[in-house]
Amino acid sequence: MLSQALLLACAALPLAQAETVLGLYIFHRHGDRTAKATPPANLTDFGYQEVFTSGTWFRDQYISSNAVSRISGIEPDLVKLGQLSASAPLDNVLQSSAIGFLSGLYPPVGSAMDTETLRNGTVVQAPLNGLQLIPVEIVTAGGNSENSAWLQGSSGCAGATTSSNEYFYTPDYMELLNSTMDFYQGLLPMINGTFNATTATYKNAYTIFDLLNVASIHNTTNFNASDLLTPSTLSQVRTLADHHEWNLAYNASSPIRAIQGATLAAQILQALNATITAPKSSPKLNIQFGAYGSFTSFFGLAGLLPVSTDFYGVADYASAMVFELVTNSSATPFPAPEDISVRFRFHNGTTSNISTPAAYPLFGTQATVLPWTDFAANMSAIAVGTQADWCTACGNTTGVCAASSAGSSGSDNSTGSGSGSGSGQDTGAPSSGGGGMSNAVAGVVGAMVTLAVILLLEGLVLVLGGLRLVSKKRLAASPAPSTAGVKA
């Protein structure tokens, strides 16, 4: 009897709401490519396969009708472009990788789903078995990054470049430069087609690793003395490159060095916030392809190094960071911000059914799921999100920063300076330049004063002359005056 009453009581309790994914932001590295030391770099067939495989996994996980963690309301088969945003810098490796990934995310749908009947009755079938065309937007940062051997080569940030260069004057760098000299000189039989005795040093740790890593995968024609590239040698080359690039991408005492991670943090925060504040008109899924430097600098800013050694150094080809927007409340209507959380996942290398992204805690916390408000506050603290903020942080004063520089060189009372860490709002108010009014404003004020003087003079003429103003309509409605009473 007691057990029956207990069962009835349990049945009366509300069922726990299963977790729902409301939105997603993916930051993905390109697939396997040719070496940077032999430009132009190109995505290889192997690299194409890597990103396609990754895209297929993300489809099975978040998109398809039977997906494990399907994004609420997303179209499972025929892509709805308003629900998705894909972007990459103007770089052939990154753009090609994005296209390959999207081909796996939304594959061809075949003739059964992708046909159209015209008014005259003609049935048109989409080419390539219904290949879905998804545009890839161009992001301004990181252009041509895969042809640049220098980590900050595509950042365009003067302050970040200066900060990274400071590493070359540290005791750590000088010690490794000297202690590894013999090691790098011993690699010359394998790399002497690209490097010489002067350039085969720790200073070029990443480009040397990159060349040998590509050679170890593809056994290209410029790969000499391949017997010297033992697993232990390649491991040491990689370890040195990881250390080299980490120090160029992040330094806790010089945050500007991580500008790539700071701008990425702002992009992630802005995209997820749009999903929350305007769920009907904003993308549910955001995908951006970028270079390893953005991964490394974000890892440093987000406090991920103590969490796992996977966050140290260079992320492998086709690595992915994932930010899930989740709720345990009903997804309809869209939940309030206080009912939404964020989960961070990362996978080093190609994501597939046998190797998937794992969840990690961000910002020194122990939780793998952060309330949205906590996540947003922490991301805002590391983000650089406006052009004015970027120009100020980087110390750039030319090009796109010329206007910002001119606006910030005057009074501190300017309301459009936008100085902050990512939440600054540019009101568009003109800068005074020195506390006074601008030439444009002065011209308007002068014109108004002149108009007021003219109106005053006209008023005096009317009063002194005994005249008054009458509307044309009223004048037309009045009877015509008699001339009999008019005296000469």
Predicted local distance difference test score (pLDDT) of residue 54? 98
Count the Cβ atoms, other than its own, within 10 Å of residue 22. Answer: 23
For 195-347, list the strands marked E by DSSP. 285-290, 320-327, 340-347
pLDDT, position 450: 43
pLDDT at 156: 84
Burial of 57 (0-12, 13-18, 19+ CB in 10 A): buried
CA distance 407 to 414: 8
Identify the pLDDT of residue 5. 53
- Please report how many Cα atoms fall inside a 13 Å half-sphere around the Cα of residue 188, on the Cβ side: 10
The partner residues of 288 in beta bridges, in order of sequence, read: 27, 87
Q: What pLDDT is stored for residue 219 in this prediction?
A: 75
- Beta pairing class for 123-125 and 369-371: unpaired
Element holding 145 (H helix, E strand): none
Could you give the CA distance from residue 31 to residue 54 in angstroms, rounded to a whole number? 10
Write the DSSP symbol of residue 361.
-
CA-only gyration radius of the chain, Å: 32
Secondary element (H or E) of residue 179: helix 171-179
pLDDT in tens, the chain (488 residues): 445 554 454 444 444 568 999 999 999 999 999 998 888 999 999 999 999 999 999 999 999 999 999 999 999 999 999 999 999 999 999 999 999 999 999 999 887 777 888 999 999 988 888 899 999 999 876 455 544 544 455 578 999 999 999 999 999 999 999 999 999 999 999 999 899 999 999 999 999 999 999 999 987 555 667 788 899 999 999 999 999 999 999 999 999 999 999 999 999 999 999 999 999 999 999 999 999 999 999 999 999 999 998 899 899 999 999 999 999 998 888 999 999 999 999 999 999 999 999 999 999 999 999 999 999 999 999 999 888 999 999 999 888 888 766 555 443 333 232 333 333 333 222 233 333 333 333 333 344 434 443 444 444 444 444 444 444 333 343 333 333 333 33
Written in H, E and C, the secondary structure of 161-173 is: HHHHHHHHHCHHH
In this structure, what is the dihedral angle of CA atoms 276, 282, 285, 286, given to the nearest 10 degrees? -100
- Residue 367, SS3? coil
Per-residue pLDDT at 418:
30
At residue 105, the pLDDT reads 98
E strand segments, 171-319: 285-290
Nearest 5°: phi and psi at 422? 145, -10
Looking up tokens 């932001």, which residue turns up?
25
Q: What pLDDT is recorded for position 371? A: 97
The predicted pLDDT at position 443 comes to 39
pLDDT at 423: 36
pLDDT at residue 15, rounded to an integer: 47
Q: Give Dmax over CA atoms of the chain in angstroms.
A: 126
CB 270 within 8 A of CB 69: no
List 345's β-bridge partners, or say none: 322, 359
CA atoms within 13 A on the CB side of 193: 13
